[in-house]
């Protein structure tokens, strides 16, 4: 299914705002997602990701701002938008006392689809659900529930998928399998906007945006996002890393210390000050030091530490 004009952007929104009570949940959000692009939407809980997604697909009316989704106005033509979008909610929202097949058939009925049996059969086959078609949804593991939810939101052949933390609580293999499916869908020209907390998933997106307290702080490819923050990171291993973190915290040039397994990342934006602060520890022999590339997690923790709350 494609919109009549087939615009180059699946999503093109400008200055979206939404307030609930005394909280500005989304502030001046502008975002563009290209056709066939996997766009990662990141941010802490309560940052406005879900509200933003719902405004983009016509489920929630913004207080102000404008935009198009698949070439349709998100306010005046929200019904057209919803017909062409597949939305996978953060919480599993299908019926646990129905089988997989019954769930998909019910969704197909809601869309008023003809040839429901054929459509459901193809969906079961394409997502590897055929052998479990008669299993009750409530007995499925998180990974299989996730796959069934994806099948449900793909039944009407949407041009855009909006996935709200789709892999939360799912095991690593199921997450990997899910992302393989997402990349196959994108290769077919389907656009995907996905919110996630996982940095390995963020790295699998074509582009990223980071939102905190309702504000879009940065967007671009993973490489562009990392380079744009200008972070310098040193890694220390060995010795008592927590004691080292305590000694370095709030030292000149040290903006954050983050434990990564058996190492500690010490990060800042002023190379000279940072090196001066760690210099006495680099030569005492208690730790092994290495200058490393800053990663997405370093960057997002840095962004979050500088963001301001949105309660006004």
Mean pLDDT on 123-137: 91
- Shared domain check, 60 and 138: yes
Is 63 part of any domain?
Answer: yes
Mean pLDDT on 6-35: 90
Mean pLDDT on 191-217: 90
Pick the range with the lowest mean pLDDT from 25-29, 44-48, 105-109, 277-281: 44-48
| Predicted pLDDT of residue 311 | 46
Task: Report the CATH number at residue 269.
Answer: 3.30.70.330
- Shared domain check, 198 and 100: yes
What is the number of alpha carbons within 13 Å of residue 266 lying toward its C-beta? 33
- CA dihedral 220→207→201→51, nearest 10 degrees, is 90
Pick the range with the lowest mean pLDDT from 105-109, 241-245, 281-285: 281-285
Cα 127 versus chain centre, distance: 22
Nearest partner of 295 among 170, 199, 219, 178, judged by Cα: 199
- Shared domain check, 146 and 271: no
- Shared domain check, 134 and 96: yes
Residue 308 scores a pLDDT above 70: no
Is 97 part of any domain?
Answer: yes
288 or 93, higher pLDDT:
288
Average pLDDT in the chain = 89
Spatial distance between the Cα atoms of 74 and 13, rounded to a whole number of angstroms: 9
- Shared domain check, 160 and 87: yes
| Predicted pLDDT of residue 101 | 94
- Shared domain check, 149 and 205: yes
249 or 167, higher pLDDT:
249
Residue 12 scores a pLDDT above 60: yes
Mean pLDDT on 103-120: 91
Is 88 part of any domain?
Answer: yes
Q: Which two tokens stand for residue 18?
A: 């939404």
Is 3 part of any domain?
Answer: no
Nearest partner of 81 among 172, 3, 170, 175, judged by Cα: 3
Mean pLDDT on 246-253: 93
Residue 309 scores a pLDDT above 80: no
Is 96 part of any domain?
Answer: yes
Residue 302 scores a pLDDT above 90: no
Mean pLDDT on 133-152: 89
Residue 171 scores a pLDDT above 90: no
- Shared domain check, 262 and 155: no
Domain count, the chain: 2
Q: What percent of the chain has pLDDT over 90?
A: 57
Is 110 part of any domain?
Answer: yes
Residue 4 scores a pLDDT above 50: no
Instruction: Categorize the per-residue pLDDT at 200 as very low, low, confident or very high, splitting at 50, 70 and 90.
Output: confident
Spatial distance between the Cα atoms of 133 and 103, rounded to a whole number of angstroms: 10
Residue 69 scores a pLDDT above 90: yes
- Shared domain check, 163 and 67: yes
Q: Of 221, 245, 266, which closes a domain?
A: 221
pTM for this model (two decimals): 0.85
Look up the domain containing 279 and give its range.
Answer: 232-293
| Predicted pLDDT of residue 2 | 44
- Shared domain check, 245 and 207: no
Residue 127 scores a pLDDT above 90: no
- Shared domain check, 153 and 25: yes
- Shared domain check, 211 and 152: yes
Mean pLDDT on 88-102: 86
- Shared domain check, 198 and 82: yes
Spatial distance between the Cα atoms of 248 and 164, rounded to a whole number of angstroms: 37
Orientation angle between helical segments 296-306 and 222-229, nearest 10 degrees: 50
Is 308 part of any domain?
Answer: no
Is 311 part of any domain?
Answer: no
Task: Report the CATH number at residue 128.
Answer: 3.40.50.300
């Amino acid at each position: 299914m494609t919109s009549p004009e087939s615009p180059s952007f699946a999503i093109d929104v400008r200055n979206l705002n939404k307030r609930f009570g005394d909280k500005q949940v989304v502030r001046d959000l502008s975002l563009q997602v290209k056709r066939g692009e996997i766009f990662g939407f990141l941010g802490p809980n309560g940052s406005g990701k879900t509200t933003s997604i719902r405004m983009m697909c016509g489920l929630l009316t913004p207080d102000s701002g404008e935009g198009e989704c698949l070439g349709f106005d998100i306010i005046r033509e929200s019904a057209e938008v919803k017909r062409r979008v597949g939305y996978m909610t953060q919480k599993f929202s299908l019926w646990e006392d129905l089988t997989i097949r019954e769930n998909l058939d019910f969704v197909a009925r809601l869309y008023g689809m003809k040839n429901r049996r054929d459509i459901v059969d193809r969906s079961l086959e394409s997502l590897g659900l055929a052998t479990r078609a008669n299993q009750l949804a409530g007995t499925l593991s998180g990974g299989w529930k996730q796959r069934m939810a994806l099948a449900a939101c793909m039944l009407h052949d949407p041009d855009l998928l909006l996935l709200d933390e789709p892999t939360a609580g799912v095991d690593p293999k199921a997450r990997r399998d899910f992302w393989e499916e997402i990349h196959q869908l994108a290769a077919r020209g389907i656009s995907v906007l996905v919110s996630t907390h996982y940095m390995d998933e963020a790295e699998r997106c074509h582009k990223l945006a980071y939102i905190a307290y309702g504000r879009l702080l940065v967007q671009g490819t993973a490489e562009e996002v990392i380079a744009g923050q200008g972070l310098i990171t040193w890694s220390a291993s060995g010795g008592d890393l927590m004691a080292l973190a305590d000694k370095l915290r709030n030292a000149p040039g040290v903006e954050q210390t983050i434990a990564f397994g058996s190492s500690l990342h010490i990060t800042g934006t002023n190379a000279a000050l940072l090196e001066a602060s760690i210099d006495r520890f680099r030569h005492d022999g208690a730790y092994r030091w290495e200058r490393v590339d800053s990663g997405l997690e370093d960057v997002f923790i840095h962004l979050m530490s500088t963001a301001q709350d949105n309660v006004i």
